[in-house]
A and B are shown apart, each in its own frame.
Chain A
Amino acid sequence: MTPRELDHYADVQLLPGKAAIAKLVVLLAVLAVLPFVVPGYRIFTLNYMAVFVIVGLGLSILVGDTGQVSLGHAGFMAIGAYTSVLAMTELGAPFLIALPAAGLVSAFFGFLLGLPALRLDGPYLAIATLGFGLAVTLIIGHGSFFGGHMGLVVPDAYLGPIPLSGDISHYFLIVGIAIVLALAARNLSVTRVGRAFRAIRDSPIAAETMGVDVAYYKTLSFTVSAAFAGIAGSLLALMNGFISPGVFSVTLSLMFLAMVVFGGLGSIAGAVLGSLVMGYVNLRMDAVQEIPIFGPMLQNFSDAYMSPSGLPNVGWVLTGSMIMLTIMFEPRGLYGVWLRIEDGVRWLRRRGASDGPAAGTG
């Protein structure tokens, strides 16, 4: 790790320093203007990426901070999506109630699943969540209450008197929630709870000796992470207008895991970055051939050596290779690459500074 100032009070400040505030203001300004600058059909892509960011933030707490693997986050997302849609259609709840309800119900299922799996050392959470993800899609696919394989149509949602229709209003809602959750995730990770998570990741036994209740904090981390996925599911339902079990497959869970690994385990910035990249990859996978230059090349290769219809699978090959290469060469992911660049720049500067006077005297 790069050496950092170790100051707890600087850490827990929501906005440390003027430079950070300036950066945040610039970021917010860019995000506010963005939907009016990009072409209209791209706003949907942005929304999709923002939903991925929310899942990524939650998964980063679980995988990056606590060191546990979930292969069932698509299942939690499905629970969130179906909860919010059914709350609106069956109970007539407003969206403002349905959205947090999605998070809470997901969190509850996360708690139920995490409690037995996380009492134990070893890979049990990964195995249990793999089964969980498959079981969720099986149950919603066969229950008529859940619309079966045909899925459910999402009703019109209102935020008080404001109708949430159209990509631009979705954009401000989803990106706004993503920013709030990013700040929440950051605050969680720099306080006592986050330190307990990382202590468990680095050594469960050492953490226990220091008085950390390992099972409690592991379950907490998993529950929070499931809540994030539930909220993301509710927002995905809203922006899509339609949900079905096929959306929340096991491969989507693997995609989620891939994005936090690729972005950089244990850093919020990395999780956001990785989620943006993978969200884009996931959305464009079905139309790889439309990507300029590479697309036609891949299409030709595919026609000559592979099957023409299987081309979208390139996305999985890419995703799988990306996370394998990340683990092999830079386990801290994109964030690690960024740290290296920073270190490099600092080193160059320092060398420049010490060379300066020497050159002056000579």
Chain B
Amino acid sequence: MLLQIVASGLSSGSIYALVALALVITYKTTGVPNFAQGEMAMFSAFVAYVLIVDYNVGFVVAFGAALVFAFVLGIGFEGVFLRRTKNPTHLNLIIMTLGFQLALFGLAGWRWGADQRRFPFPVSANEVVHFGNVTVSTLSLATISIALVLMAAVFAFFRFTKLGVAMQATQQDAMAARINGVPARAVVALTFGISSVIGAVAALLTAPLITLDPTLMWDPLLKGFAAAVLGGMNTPIGAVLGGYLLGIVENLFGAYVSVEFKSAVAFLIIVIVLWFRPVGLFGRKPPRKV
């Protein structure tokens, strides 16, 4: 029983971990949480949906196209909107992400209506695999493995490629990075592109689990934030671990306390962490700058 709960927790936790990772890498770069993250991912999932259902494109091509779209959307959002902010205080940048979120939400609702659409996916949520006593759907299995591979790739990219190191340097101190010859502007745009792709993967894995409509990522986005706060807003690895932890805790709560109020766990965790360990479980206190 307990193992079963942990297994389903890992599956939903994979999605929270992806969203949290996407949020944290842009948060570290700009200092503001990107509230448009969820809607950007939702829009990318709709791109895949339209290609598959309306144009009969194969899964691989459609998903690839959706990820390319997400990449361009992320870079475009940074280059066209965030960078043009007249007075880029944190407040104004946050409002900018909220404006983009509302506009994308409205556009998706306008174009595709509020119908709940079944999202076609190569792996089914109903077929199951048995591991001893634990039953896992093939979709969950795919979700867990795709998330692991993607996150490993992202961390390897940050750690071992020149560009990844440049991105980390820009996150730590954009001015110092620029002095050392890092093209900081391009790197910031690229960070948004990568973040958007990670978010889009999370959306593509969420859509077959429920149904596709413009509110697809509302819940995962909040969970992603909760995971990031839990693990530490400044540590990508902490945020990822926070995602898995949240998934497990949430499933335990659903099994033993109340299924109805399961979604409120995320909010509860945010408040508890802010009370007792505001830097998150794995975070360190950042220096304050004037």
List B residues at the A interface (Cβ < 8 Å). 27, 31-33, 35, 81, 84-87, 89-92, 94-96, 98-114, 214, 218, 222, 225-226, 229, 233, 260-261, 263-264, 266-268, 270-271, 274-275, 278, 288, 290
Contacts and interface: CB of A to CB of B under 8 A. Distances in A.
A310 B222 contact: no
Contacts of B109: 310, 312-313, 316
A198 B274 CA distance: 24
Most B CB within 10 A of own CB, among A134, A139, A322: A134
Interface stretch (A28-36, A123-131, A338-346): A123-131
A320 B103 contact: yes
Contacts of A309: 113-114
Contact of A131 (B103, B106, B266): B266
Given A67-B91, A317-B107, A250 B218 contact: yes
A134 B217 CA distance: 13
Given A63-B91, A309-B113, A327-B95, A127 B270 contact: yes
A140 to B, nearest CB: 12
A138 to B, nearest CB: 5
B103 A331 contact: no
Interface string A314-328: 111111111110011
A269 interface: no
A67 to B, nearest CB: 5
Interface string A126-147: 1110111011001100100000
Contact of B267 (A134, A265, A312, A324): A134
A5 interface: no
Which 8 A-B residue pairs are closest in the complex by CB-CB distance? A316-B106, A320-B103, A320-B102, A131-B267, A313-B109, A317-B106, A324-B99, A116-B274
A193 B98 CA distance: 29
B142 to A, nearest CB: 28
Contact of B33 (A123, A265, A313, A318): A123
Interface of A: 63, 67, 69, 71, 113, 116-117, 119-124, 126-128, 130-132, 134-135, 138-139, 142, 201, 203, 205-206, 250-251, 254, 257-258, 261, 265, 302, 306-307, 309-324, 327-331
A219 to B, nearest CB: 13
A327 B90 CA distance: 12
B98 A119 contact: no
Contacts of B100: 320, 324
Nearest to B81: A324
Given A117-B274, A315-B106, A320-B106, A310 B99 contact: no
B106 A135 contact: no
A155 to B, nearest CB: 28
A343 B37 CA distance: 39
Most A CB within 10 A of own CB, among B87, B94, B106, B229: B106
A139 to B, nearest CB: 7
A123 B32 contact: yes
A254 B101 contact: yes
- Binding site of A, secondary structure by majority: helix, strand, loop or mixed? helix
B110 A318 contact: no
Given A205-B290, A258-B99, A310 B111 contact: yes
Contact of B106 (A126, A201, A319, A323): A319
B99 A320 contact: yes
Contacts of B233: 122-123
Contact of B114 (A69, A306, A310, A327): A310
Contacts of A254: 98, 101-102
A309 B112 CA distance: 9
B261 to A, nearest CB: 7
A313 B113 CA distance: 8
B102 A126 contact: no
A310 B103 contact: no
Contacts of B290: 203, 205-206
A71 B84 CA distance: 24
B98 A257 contact: yes
A131 B226 contact: yes
A132 B267 contact: yes
A109 to B, nearest CB: 12
Contact of B274 (A128, A135, A317): A128
A250 B290 CA distance: 33
Nearest to B27: A123
A201 B103 CA distance: 27
B33 A134 contact: no
Contact of B96 (A131, A139, A324): A324
Contacts of B105: 251, 313, 316, 320
B94 A310 contact: no
Given A135-B263, A142-B260, 16 more contacts: A69-B91, A119-B274, A120-B274, A123-B27, A123-B32, A124-B229, A130-B222, A131-B266, A310-B111, A310-B113, A315-B106, A316-B109, A323-B98, A323-B102, A324-B81, A324-B103
A142 B261 CA distance: 8
Most B CB within 10 A of own CB, among A319, A324, A328, A331: A324
Contact of A134 (B86, B92, B95, B222): B222
A131 B111 contact: no
B278 A124 contact: yes
Contacts of B270: 127-128, 131
Contact of B278 (A69, A120, A131, A331): A120
